[in-house]
Structure 1
């Protein structure tokens, strides 16, 4: 077999092992070191050593040559260097800080106050409880970036309230599932930090570019919720007087000031300091983590147990992301050295496709990968395969990254592997069937595809803010 064929075998074996359920990070490292040992093996050096042995050589001299030949392989140097590179990456330093901020905010008992306040404030809007749930999901998802936590917490808080208000179970479930995934796209998104580290695109430009597409998607979601509530009142009945209390305006203002504004201010402070160059993402994430702790103390929700849980979850998730990077960097280095990347580039360019067709093909592959894989694995392992092809087709990596971020919403919403639906089913009342949840997320899935089409047809939605703030 030629080296490029071995590279393709390496990729095929990795995909096969993933589907068997092996841990992805350690599978990448094992594949990288195993095939890298072959790729970097210097048999001639060992043979020259044996030729220098004479009749006076002892068995230990021969054994030493075998040991030296076995361990003196550049793959081990590569693995150590890649590990150090990942652990010292300044962009990735922001990941644990943003995660810690999210886990602290999740435990600060903010969400129940926020949902109650927004429900009262929007009671005259069609589908008011759905609108309140969606805005709460969007704000909470933006602050945490942890899909499972947002869907689970909002499922425990908002879903029972919406069912008591006689909302259609599918409609209510779809709102929570779709709203919980928005943290992947809307800054300060951890997914965008990981993409920046994988692609070399400036994280501040990514954040600026993701803002308007994020608001576009939220707007489409809200438009669907309000529109369906008007066209099908039985799916979202107007609340009765005893279900949503009348609150004096002054008290309502106080409720908004104590529930909505603290979290919104924290998000805007972190995001604004990054976008306007007042702080690096790592420094802003540090302030965000500190702000999360202050909020938890202000709401009297900070305990030693919650702090310990937040630290533990932060360390566990960060370790997963970093070891994925180590494995991916090692795997991709060996894959490229064997000529696999060149084979893929030649194959794609040989198809004689247009940039639009390439984008559709790439997004279709990412869409299908979203069924068995998490977003972190897709960004770290598979997206770098497409990155060298972007220059060939004249596609801006910033634009491609935003399309990927939009596309990854679908990985949590597409049956049969819609993880948001499974998160919600785990805590939903027994009478809520999984098929009902799947039915509820389908319209929101259509909204994601619609937003991707709008972004492609009007790319200035992505480029406007980065160009206005940072220039071309």
Structure 2
């Protein structure tokens, strides 16, 4: 077998092994070292050490644990409970008000943390039982929680965008600016959908009791002032500092972490146990992410060394595709890969296959990154490997079946695909803000 064929074999064995349920990070390391020893001999161990050092010393990736810590502090301080309740009261006159409140809370919480599992799990414990108790359709409520929880992949400060920036050599600041409008667009499409469905079929989302509708405006404003606005100000300060060039993402993440601690203290929810738990969860998640990066970069380096990237690149170039056809093919491959793989492997292993092809097909790397970020929403929502559905099932009441959750998320998958079509047709949705701010 030629080296490129060995590289393709390596990829096939990796995907097959993942489908068997083996841990992804250690599978990547084992595959990289095994095939690397075949291709490079003892030098593969030097490559592993170098990749480990590069991950630990990467200035861009330093922001990851800081954003994680900010999210865990906010989560442990029970700030999201207040946020959901206040938005629910403020949106009480809107059809499907509880679903709208859940989506807005998910978007805000996703902005604060970017951890899909944490958002879906917390909202599954907080909002999902409340929606079911209020008479919401089980599938409808499931789709709202799962789809809303995945917005953290796209909405800044997305950890996925940080990893894409490190992989593609694109500015994190420009990616954050580019993702702002697509993220708001997708969240807005979700909200329009749930309101429309509730107007067509009110039984899916019964209106709240009359006593909840009679709250004075002063009480509503007080709830918003003490829950929504403080967290919104913290997020806007972090994102504003990044987008205006006042701080690097790492510096802004550090300030955001401090702001999360201050906010928890103001709410009298800061305790030594909660702070220690947040530090522990941050360290555990960061270690997992770092091992994933090390394994992915080692695997990708060996795959490229064997000529796997070149072989796939040449096959695509020889197909004589047009720009739109190339983009559709790339996104279809990423969509399919999202079933068995985590987004980290897709970004670090497979996206670099397409990056050298962006220039021949005249595709902006920033625009491509926005399409990938939108596409990766589906990897968490598409059965049978919809991880957000499994997160929700893990905390849902026993009578909620996994198939009901799967059926509930399918309309939101269609909305994501529609959002990608809108972005194809109107690329300025993603490109206008970064091109205007950073000429």
Question: For this pair of structures, how many residues does the alignment match?
Answer: 439
Task: Name the structure 2 match of 1:452.
Answer: 420
Matched, 1:238 2:202: no
Cα distance between partner residues in 1 of 2:88 and 2:19: 43
Are the structure 2 counterparts of residues 304 and 369 from structure 1 closer, same or farther at C-alpha, using a change threshold of 3 Å? same
Q: Secondary structure at the match of 2:360?
A: helix
Aligned partner (choices 190, 211, 232) of residue 159 of structure 2: 190
Alpha-carbon distance, 1:160 to partner: 2.1
Structure 2: gaps spanning 5 or more residues = none
TM-score of the superposed pair, with normalisation by structure 2:
0.96
- Note if 1:433 corresponds to 2:401: yes
Question: 1:163 aligns to what?
Answer: 132
Please name the residue that 1:263 is paired with.
231
Alignment check: 8 A CA contact 1:145 1:184 kept = yes
Contact 1:32-1:330 at 8 Å conserved across structures: yes
Match of 2:218 in 1: 250
Q: 1:31 Cα deviation (Å)?
A: 2.6
The C-alpha deviation readout for 1:158-189, integer Å capped at 9, x for no partner, is: 12222222222211121111111111100011
Q: Secondary structure at the match of 2:245?
A: coil
Per-residue deviation, 1:462: 0.8
Q: Is the 8 A contact 2:154 2:183 kept in 1?
A: yes
2:432 to 464, 468, 471: 464
Equivalent in 324, 336, 340 of residue 356 of structure 1:
324
Report the equivalent of 1:12: 12
Q: Deviations over 1:372-391 (max 9, x none)?
A: 22222222222222212222
Q: What is the aligned partner in structure 1 of residue 179 from structure 2?
A: 210
Alignment match, 1:329: 297
Distance 1:24 1:168, change over 3 A: closer
The offset of 1:356, in angstroms, is: 1.4
Matching residue of 2:357: 389
Deviation digits for residues 283-335 of structure 1 (CA, Å, limit 9, x no counterpart) = 00000111111111111222222222211221122122222222222222222
C-alpha distance in structure 1 between counterparts of 2:140 and 2:150, whole Å: 16
Name the counterpart of 2:22.
22
Looking at structure 1, the residues matched to 69 and 438 of structure 2 have their Cα atoms a distance apart, in angstroms, of 29
Q: Hey, what's the Cα distance between the residues in 2 that align with 1:412 and 1:213? A: 18
In the alignment, is the contact (CA less than 8 A) between 1:324 and 1:380 conserved in 2? no
Other-structure match for 2:251: 283
Alpha-carbon deviation of 1:215?
A: 0.8
Matches within 5 A, 1:22-421: 22-41=22-41, 73-242=42-211, 244=212, 246-421=214-389
Hey, what does 2:411 align to over in structure 1? Answer: 443
Deviates more, 1:431-440 or 1:441-450: 431-440
Q: Which moved more, 1:199-208 or 1:437-446?
A: 437-446
The two structures, once aligned, show a CA RMSD in angstroms of: 1.6
8 Å CA contact 1:108, 1:301 repeated in 2: yes
Structure 1: state its 5+ residue gaps.
42-72
CA distance 1:470–1:2, shift in 2 (3 Å): same
How far apart in 2 are the matches of 1:335 and 1:419?
27
Secondary structure at 2:156's aligned position in 1?
Answer: coil
Deviation digits for residues 32-71 of structure 1, max 9, x if unmatched?
Answer: 2333333334xxxxxxxxxxxxxxxxxxxxxxxxxxxxxx
- Listed one character per residue, the Cα deviations across residues 438-463 of structure 1 (whole Å, up to 9, x for unaligned) are 22212111110000000000000110
Deviation, structure 1 residue 245: 5.6
Contact conserved, 1:185 with 1:405, CA < 8 A, in 2? Answer: yes
CA contact (8 A) 2:355 2:365 kept: yes
In structure 2, relative to structure 1, the CA distance for the partners of 1:79 and 1:428 (3 Å cut) is closer
The CA distance in 1 between the partners of 2:20 and 2:400, in whole Å, is: 31
- Which of the two has higher C-alpha Rg? 1
Instruction: Note if contact 2:103-2:145 (Cα within 8 Å) is conserved in structure 1.
Output: yes
> Secondary structure of 1:392's match?
coil
Question: Normalising to structure 1: TM-score of the pair?
Answer: 0.90
Distance 1:308 1:32 in 2: 35
The offset of 1:213, in angstroms, is: 0.5
Residues 96 and 194 in structure 2, CA contact (< 8 A), matched pair in contact too: yes
CA contact (8 A) 1:414 1:442 kept: yes
Q: Secondary structure at the match of 1:393?
A: coil
